Amino acid sequence: MMAWLRAGFLLGLVAMLVACGSGVPGDFDPLPRQATVLAFGDSVTHGTGAGAGEDYPARLAAITGWTIVNDGVPGDRASSARERLAPSLRAHEPDLVLIWLGGNDFLRQRDPAAVREDLRVLVETVRDHGAQPLLLGVPRASALGAATGRLRDDPIYRELAHEEQVPLIEGVLSGVLSESDLRADPVHPNARGYRRIATEIAEALDDLGLWLAP
């Protein structure tokens, strides 16, 4: 694994960062083209709702040139994912880990505070392994919110980003699921939705300095 230093991300900047062209400068050195990135999540990471090769990690790999491992397990929760993270880190030795979990916990009515603590363990596990963690926000599913275009990420993601000084990309899934033509069902994007997700994550990574757009 390449030896690059994680810079502390100022709390105020974390709070301001959004996925779509935030314009917030990053404190990170860009990962090289040969970097390995672990996309760690649930069915949204897996690509449920779209065909083979249309998942966001595959599309993000095409944009960035990085090797991106899709470790998305449909139905997984922040709590159960704790058990499989360490083996995945050992197997792939990533430089960057995109943590995108919590949706299934919310669907099962878990206490958001408990979900936040599970996510904290995931962040700490990634750091202990020597990789850079990055959080992606998730909304609590709401048919009314999706219908009115008012889905918002749950506050636990911003809270955890503040507390752990970890970079956060907000509003990507919320935005996609708020548009009926970008989703396959109320909680999964379609192929167009995943394409937008990859593009917006790439823009946010460019803002952070982790990736330099050509």
Domain that holds residue 62: 25-208
Q: Structure pTM?
A: 0.86
Q: Do residues 198 and 182 touch, judged by C-beta distance below 8 A?
A: no
Under the banding of pLDDT at 50, 70 and 90, the label for residue 12 is very low
Q: What are phi and psi of 149, to 5 degrees?
A: 70, 30
Q: Write the CATH number for 93.
A: 3.40.50.1110
Is residue 108 in some structural domain?
yes
Q: Is 170 part of any domain?
A: yes
pLDDT at 149: 61
Does residue 3 fall inside a structural domain? no
For the stretch 159-211, pLDDT in tens is 999 999 999 999 999 999 999 999 999 899 999 999 999 999 999 999 999 99
- How many domains are contained in the chain? 1
Domain for residue 90, yes or no?
A: yes
Q: Is residue 191, in this structure, part of any structural domain at all?
A: yes
Angle of helix 78-92 versus helix 112-129 axis, rounded to 10: 10
Instruction: Look at residue 27 in the predicted model and tell me its pLDDT.
Output: 75
Q: Is 75 inside a domain boundary?
A: yes
